[in-house]
Amino acid sequence: MGNVQSLTNKIDEISANCKYLNEFRSNTIMTHTSQLTVLRYYEGIGQLILVKGKGGGVCIYVNEKWCHPNNALIKHHSCFPNIEILTVSLRPYYLPREFSHIIIHTVYVPHRSVAKPATLELVDIIDQFESSAPDAFTIINGDFNHCDLRKSSVHYYQQVKCATRDTATLDLLYTNVKDAYLSIQLPKLGKADHNLVNLVPRYRSIVKREKARVITIQQWNDNAVDHLRAELDSTDWNMFVEASDDLNELTQTISDYISFCVDNVIPKKEVKVFPNNKPWITKKVKTVINKKKGLFKKGDSSALREVQKELKRVIAQEKAAYRDKIESLFTDNNMRRVWDGIRLMSGYRNNSNSCHISEITLDYANDLNHFYNRFDQQDFSHEYSKLQNVLTDPSSNSGVRGGRPPAVQ
């Protein structure tokens, strides 16, 4: 990534770098901010997502070996006086399961004098995509020109640690994952005044960072249920009634006995639960997924479409079952587990203590402060002392300590 100024006279150099240098050839994404006039597609570089005409512009190249062109979609592109933004959604061939897809925002801020309004416009767009895709891996990069997102309501992690222009770091890259990249400084392209930055991935997926948990589950089947029914039918329940003194003791004794029978009769099995598995990924869902893999290897396209429909239906059913399970926790007043389940289903992350509200200016905030603090600006000391003298004066007829109350006309 980097600001290459005029990109037209650097196409040959970019093409040569992608052909002979491993740093360029192995890159998955290249983003540039530049002064564009004409830009052509070069085979071997990748797919050209957007071309802008004369003036400042942004562009993104995607390596077709990493992501199919059909899975690279433009979600937003705008050219404001304060900022230029290009947003692309990517679904590469491989992506860690904890991310649904990748969203890249490439921005260009023309001057530091418009840093504040540019930040507000960028935050509005980021909030829109965060609401629509909370599980996406978000990248925000480009030439920010002293536009700092760390002072805004969005809390992202800045990954560029090296200087990009002399001793200043103007080309930044923010992500919603901490320590996602390692920044390496590269030489300039042509006579550009900004250095290029190579971002090497450092992120390790959850399944590699955390070990799988081994849990014990009960296998309820028809044979086990029949054994449990026979066990309970042969029980002398009058024995519990005669041995109990009150209803609470009887309830607790019978409940413990039923749990004892279930533990002895129902067979158990140890299973692995991986950290990147969603709670609604059950055995039924995995069975359909394995069925889909088998049909894919056979090359049966018609049956594969039917299985895909079945998979969507089964996932919807399991999600509904998990939702009902979370809603049932309301009766137990277990609000902690309820909140954890709702946050997991909605993808909500409470990363910030502030909330950005669009179309709210500084003047509007000052008007609110003046309105709610209007009583603090007036001096009521004279009225307060007068009222205090009236209430504490024993000779006053209108006092509360004696005398008649004042007449009401």
Domain extent listing, the chain:
2-205, 213-273, 278-347, 379-409
Measured in whole angstroms, the distance separating CA 240 from the mean position of its chain's CA atoms is: 54
Work out the burial of residue 98: count CB atoms within 10 Å of its CB; fewer than 13 is exposed, 13-18 middle, 19 or more buried: middle
Cβ(1)–Cβ(199) below 8 Å = yes
Work out the burial of residue 169: count CB atoms within 10 Å of its CB; fewer than 13 is exposed, 13-18 middle, 19 or more buried: middle
Residue 12 has pLDDT above 60, yes or no: yes
Give me 65's structure tokens. 């070996």
Please write down the HEC assignment for all residues of 113-154.
Answer: HHHHHHHHHHHHHHHHHHHHCCCCEEEEEEECCCCCHHHCCC
Q: What is the pLDDT of residue 283?
A: 84
Q: What is the pLDDT of residue 351?
A: 55
Residue 321 has pLDDT above 50, yes or no: yes
Task: Read off the pLDDT of each residue in 3-21 and give the average, rounded to a whole number.
Answer: 81
Ranges 52-66, 174-188, 199-213, 344-358: which has the least confidence: 344-358
Cβ(7)–Cβ(56) below 8 Å = no
Q: Minimal CA–CA distance to 144: which of 174, 180, 116, 107? A: 107
| Residue 358's pLDDT band (cuts 50, 70, 90) | low
> 272 or 376: which carries more pLDDT confidence?
272
| Residue 56's pLDDT band (cuts 50, 70, 90) | low
Please state, in angstroms and rounded to a whole number, the distance separating the CA atoms of residues 407 and 291: 90
Please state, in angstroms and rounded to a whole number, the distance separating the CA atoms of residues 152 and 168: 21
Q: Say how many residues make up the chain.
A: 409
Q: What is the pLDDT of residue 275?
A: 84
Q: Minimal CA–CA distance to 5: which of 184, 117, 170? A: 170
Q: What is the pLDDT of residue 154?
A: 79
Give me 121's structure tokens. 């416009």
Please state, in angstroms and rounded to a whole number, the distance separating the CA atoms of residues 322 and 278: 10
Helices (H), 234-334: 238-243, 247-265, 283-298, 301-328
2-205: CATH homologous superfamily?
Endonuclease/exonuclease/phosphatase (3.60.10.10)
The residue written with tokens 């609401």 in the block is: 131
Query: Vertex 275, ends 273 and 279: CA angle to 5°?
Result: 65
* Whole-structure pTM value: 0.67
Please state, in angstroms and rounded to a whole number, the distance separating the CA atoms of residues 29 and 60: 7
Question: What does the pLDDT look like over 226-257, one tens digit per residue?
Answer: 999 999 999 898 888 888 888 888 899 999 99
| Residue 40's pLDDT band (cuts 50, 70, 90) | very low
Give me 87's structure tokens. 């947003």
Residue 327 has pLDDT above 60, yes or no: yes
Strand duo 195-201 + 213-218: pairing: unpaired
Quote the DSSP letter at residue 405: P
Cα–Cα distances in angstroms (integers) from residue 314 to residues 97, 306, 317, in the given order: 19, 12, 5
Percent of the chain scored above 70 by pLDDT? 83
Edge-to-edge strands of the sheet including 29-35? 2-6, 29-35, 56-62, 47-48
| Residue 400's pLDDT band (cuts 50, 70, 90) | very low
> 370 or 138: which carries more pLDDT confidence?
138
Please state, in angstroms and rounded to a whole number, the distance separating the CA atoms of residues 101 and 189: 31
Cβ(188)–Cβ(214) below 8 Å = no
Residue 5 has pLDDT above 60, yes or no: yes
- Backbone angles phi and psi of 56, in degrees to 5: -65, 145
Q: What is the pLDDT of residue 399?
A: 46
Q: Minimal CA–CA distance to 277: which of 285, 288, 269? A: 285
Q: What is the pLDDT of residue 401?
A: 47
Please state, in angstroms and rounded to a whole number, the distance separating the CA atoms of residues 403 and 395: 8
Residue 267 has pLDDT above 80, yes or no: yes
Q: Minimal CA–CA distance to 153: which of 351, 347, 343? A: 351
Cβ(62)–Cβ(47) below 8 Å = yes
**CA quadruple 110, 113, 119, 120: dihedral, nearest 10:** -120
Residue 44 has pLDDT above 50, yes or no: no
Q: Minimal CA–CA distance to 358: which of 58, 128, 103? A: 128
List residues bridging with 141 in a β-sheet. Answer: 106, 173
Maximal CA-CA distance, the chain: 105
